[in-house]
């Protein structure tokens, strides 16, 4: 039996190429079917796909007859299942429509199709905890069941004068343009983790420091734009 696990998502676009990034699944969030995905649930399936040299298809509304692009990157981080995809906007009319709808935030959900390998049910809550699943496909969908939007949640927390959780803020930094490694380093060690090592009196290090400083200013501008 194939099942779906949905996630409302915020994406980062790259020009008009059809490339976008987002989270196909968010960990430790209970969806409308009272399922909760936990870290590591995709690890085996992703490893098997990597060994086989394939990725799950990128579908429109879970329709196997409507592939609209390809996933270029899929991996777990501390927040969920992070994906980078290309919609084939130049070759598939539906992909071009999907990209426009996504840009206009008309269609703003991702949903995974999966088969359960291992799970258990919490006695107190009745929630089914998914610990190992086969990832079969990832679709763009209109109505996601999982309403965990990382950027929107961070915006809401900041607007209310609250502090976002570390996991949410790390995902927020990813939206601002940091790599996974940079985001984790920044959360752990602050801005110093992004600066070059060595004696800044050295000409080479000074030049590197100038480049890094410029990058930090650019990062700050991107974060302000997201907020």
**pLDDT tens per residue, range 62-119:** 899 999 999 999 999 988 999 989 999 999 999 999 988 888 878 878 888 899 999 9
Secondary structure of 39-80 in HEC code, one letter for each residue: CCCCHHHHHHHHHHCCCCEEEECCEEEEEEEEEEEEEECCCE
pLDDT for 194 equals 55
pTM exceeding 0.85: no
Does 220 lie in the same domain as 198? yes
Q: What is the pLDDT of residue 56?
A: 95
Domain total in the chain: 2
- How far is C-alpha 52 from the chain's CA centre? 23
| Predicted pLDDT at 107 | 82
Based on the fold, state whether residues 143 and 204 are members of the same structural domain.
Answer: no
Burial class of residue 162, CB neighbours in 10 A (0-12, 13-18, 19+): exposed
Cα angle 136, 86, 156; round to 5: 85
- Residue 43: pLDDT above 90? yes
By residue range, what is the domain housing residue 178?
152-226
pLDDT at 6: 56
Q: Do 12 and 80 lie in a common domain?
A: yes
Q: pLDDT averaged over the chain?
A: 76
pLDDT at 157 over 80: no
Residue 219 has pLDDT above 90, yes or no: no
Residues 60 and 168 in one domain: no
Of the residues 148, 174, 197, the one at which a domain ends = 148
Assess contact for 132 and 44: CB atoms under 8 A: yes
Q: Does the pLDDT of residue 198 top 50, yes or no?
A: no
Catalytic residues: 62, 111, 137
Asked which of 148, 166, 196 is the last residue of a domain, the reply is 148
Residue range 186-202: average pLDDT?
58
pLDDT band at 200 (very low <50, low <70, confident <90, very high): very low
Using one digit for the tens of pLDDT, what is the confidence trace for 159-180? 555 666 666 666 666 655 666 7
Q: Are 133 and 168 members of one domain?
A: no
What is the distance between the alpha carbons of residues 102 and 18, in angstroms, rounded to a whole number?
A: 10
Classify residue 61 as left (phi > 0), alpha (psi -120 to 50) or beta.
left
Same domain (yes/no): 162, 137? no
Average pLDDT over residues 21-35: 84
Which of 148, 171, 193 lies at the terminal end of a domain, its last residue?
A: 148
**In this predicted structure, which of 122-136, 174-188, 190-204 has the lowest mean pLDDT?**
190-204
Average pLDDT for residues 26-45, to the nearest whole number? 90
Residues 150/23, Cβ–Cβ less than 8 Å: yes
pLDDT for the residue 130: 94
The answer on 76 and 129 residing in a single domain is yes
Average pLDDT of span 37-44 = 96
What are 177's strand-pairing partners?
none
């Amino acid at each position: 039996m194939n099942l779906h696990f949905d996630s409302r998502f915020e994406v980062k676009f790259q020009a008009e190429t059809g490339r976008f990034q987002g989270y196909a699944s968010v960990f430790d969030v209970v969806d409308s079917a009272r399922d909760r995905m936990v870290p590591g649930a995709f690890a085996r399936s992703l490893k098997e796909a990597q060994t086989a040299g394939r990725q799950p298809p990128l579908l429109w509304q879970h329709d196997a007859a409507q592939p609209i692009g390809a996933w270029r990157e899929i991996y777990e981080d501390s927040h969920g299942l992070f994906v980078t995809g290309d919609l084939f906007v130049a070759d598939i009319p539906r992909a071009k429509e999907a990209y426009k709808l996504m840009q206009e935030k008309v269609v703003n959900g991702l949903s995974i199709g999966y088969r359960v390998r291992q799970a258990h049910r919490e006695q107190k809550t009745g929630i089914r905890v998914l610990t190992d699943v086969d990832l079969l496909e990832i679709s763009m969908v209109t109505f996601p069941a999982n309403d965990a939007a990382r950027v929107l949640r961070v915006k809401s927390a900041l607007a209310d004068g609250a502090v976002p959780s570390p996991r949410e803020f790390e995902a927020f930094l990813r939206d601002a343009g940091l790599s996974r490694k940079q985001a984790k380093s920044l959360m752990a060690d602050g801005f110093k983790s992004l600066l070059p090592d060595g004696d800044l009196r050295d000409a080479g290090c000074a030049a590197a420091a100038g480049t890094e400083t410029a990058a930090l200013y650019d990062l700050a501008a991107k974060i302000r734009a997201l907020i």
